[in-house]
Amino acid sequence: MKSNQKPVTAIVVGAGGRGVTYSTFALTVPERFQIVGVAEPKDYNRGWMQTRFNLPAEAVTTDWHELASRPRMADIAIITTQDAMHAEPAIAFARLGYAILLEKPMAPTEEECRRIVQAIKQAGVLFGVCHVMRYTRYTQMLKALLDSGAIGEIVTVQHLEPVGYWHQAHSFVRGNWRNSKESSFMLLAKSCHDLDWLLYILGEHCLSVSSFGALKHFKKSEKPAAAGDALRCLSCAYEPDCPYSARKIYLGRLEKGDIKWPVGVLTPEPTRESVTKALEEGPYGRCVYECDNDVVDHQVVNMLFDHDKTATFTMTAFNQANHRKTRIFGTRGELYGDGVNIEHFDFLTDQTRTISTEDPSDGSIVGGHGGGDYGLIDRFVEAVAKNDQSLILSGPDESLESHRMVFGAERARLDHVVVDL
């Protein structure tokens, strides 16, 4: 389709894993979307962006403050720095008039989330939080089914997030999100997507939350005796019997030719030598029972929604990493979704039908997170082109509301109370 409209432009603030993911979308639709600048301290990441997007030297900086000290140079600021470094750039670039696409979580505290929303509203700019789960084909088909009345009125929902044993070890024991003081607590880092998704699916305000959870396994007291004093997998006698072995997780994947995430997180150019060095010296080679992690490895949340609706949520490390699983119980039927297929049981007919949500197209534009990554950036670009906030499914108010559920649930867990929102 030909259009006379100029492409929407963006700068990327933090060109790590997520910044690169959203930027890459520009390569598939250059007539609609272009990356025109980047702020990134790491030489490799910055250089990759400069080369890939053919950026002039003056559009490439090592720190976001420098871009924020200049007049606006693009339509969108994509903010993909780490969790604790979201609020300040989001506020600064909103004040300059950029539309803000902000990675989740909005910020590690409710106060910062509120400040972001206030700045967005004052600046009158478009805003979206990267709640990619809202934008998948699966979610859109599930939501359409619910909105069509397929199961009558939703009464209660049971939602499971199977994080996966190795994913937990990679990100939440050894990796960036292991320690709540350095990044954020587990429910915010990983499961803010899920509480946001439940809010979206139920379409009701959440009134109250309670929660339990703990760090049960990944701590020194659980270390198998056979592991002795070993601090790293490569020098541990117990390693061949340990499912969380870094040798198995990283070198095992490398040997099968898989150098993408999570192997690519250890070193920009994974080889047997570079990955082995990273395991000998870096954080990802550490024993999972000897890390400085404190985030929970399992947590449950109970939620009361408006109109007497309820939901339960479970996150747990102890499973095969997989899609989320959801059972939705309504007054006229029941749905079970496994992230790909939806089973619909109808009370009137006593029949079950299965609906596939797989994309029949060639999938070349689908991208990660079940199509959510490109689904999100695609809609955001369209919203900016049309100056239409309603195209963004995760705007300021709904994102603040779902973040407040998360902060409330964590307070409920820590204080052993029911928190009214």
Ligand X SMILES: NC(=O)c1ccc[n+]([C@@H]2O[C@H](COP(=O)([O-])OP(=O)(O)OC[C@H]3O[C@@H](n4cnc5c(N)ncnc54)[C@H](O)[C@@H]3O)[C@@H](O)[C@H]2O)c1
Which of the ranges 80-88, 232-240, 314-322, 395-403 carries the binding residues for ligand X, by CB under 6 A? 80-88
Which of the ranges 34-42, 140-148, 210-218, 347-355 carries the binding residues for ligand X, by CB under 6 A? 34-42
The answer to whether residue 64 forms part of the interface with ligand X (CB under 6 A) is yes
Closest CB 122 distance from ligand X, rounded Å: 23
Binders of ligand X among residues 369 to 398 (CB under 6 A) are 369
- Cis preceding linkage at 108, omega within 30: no
Q: Which residues, in sequence order, are bridge partners of residue 299? A: 213, 315
**One symbol per residue from 156 to 195: x for binding ligand X (CB under 6 A), - otherwise; what is it?**
---------------------------------x------
Closest CB 379 distance from ligand X, rounded Å: 14
Nearer to ligand X, 102 or 157 (CB): 102
Closest CB 332 distance from ligand X, rounded Å: 33
How far from chain centre, in Å, is Cα 81? 13
Closest CB 271 distance from ligand X, rounded Å: 20
Q: If binding means CB under 6 A, how many residues of this protein chain bind ligand X?
A: 25
Binding ligand X (rule: CB under 6 A), the pick from 26, 39, 117, 120 is 39
**One symbol per residue from 124 to 163: x for binding ligand X (CB under 6 A), - otherwise; what is it?**
------x-x-------------------------------
The answer to whether residue 17 forms part of the interface with ligand X (CB under 6 A) is yes
The answer to whether residue 287 forms part of the interface with ligand X (CB under 6 A) is no
Binding ligand X (rule: CB under 6 A), the pick from 63, 111, 281, 415 is 63
**Structure tokens given for 106:** 């909005």
Binders of ligand X among residues 107 to 126 (CB under 6 A) are none
Distance in angstroms between the alpha carbons of the first and the last residue of the chain: 47
Which of the ranges 8-16, 142-150, 317-325, 359-367 carries the binding residues for ligand X, by CB under 6 A? 8-16
The answer to whether residue 202 forms part of the interface with ligand X (CB under 6 A) is no
Which of the ranges 14-22, 226-234, 250-258, 308-316 carries the binding residues for ligand X, by CB under 6 A? 14-22
> Strands 33-39 and 333-337: what pairing?
unpaired
Binding ligand X (rule: CB under 6 A), the pick from 10, 11, 13, 328 is 13
Which of the ranges 35-43, 152-160, 200-208, 381-389 carries the binding residues for ligand X, by CB under 6 A? 35-43
The answer to whether residue 42 forms part of the interface with ligand X (CB under 6 A) is yes
Q: What is the rounded distance in angstroms from the CA atom of residue 22 to the CA atom of residue 128?
A: 13
| CA atoms in the 13 A half-sphere facing the CB of 29 | 22
**Amino acid (one-letter) located at 209:** V
Closest CB 35 distance from ligand X, rounded Å: 14
Closest CB 18 distance from ligand X, rounded Å: 3
Binding ligand X (rule: CB under 6 A), the pick from 18, 32, 167, 324 is 18
Closest CB 184 distance from ligand X, rounded Å: 8
Closest CB 176 distance from ligand X, rounded Å: 6
- Starting at the earlier edge strand, list the strands of the sheet with 419-420: 351-356, 341-346, 333-337, 325-330, 154-162, 309-316, 298-305, 206-214, 419-420
The answer to whether residue 81 forms part of the interface with ligand X (CB under 6 A) is yes
Nearer to ligand X, 68 or 242 (CB): 68
What residues make contact with ligand X under the rule CB under 6 A? Answer: 13-19, 39-42, 45, 63-64, 80-83, 85, 103-104, 130, 132, 189, 369
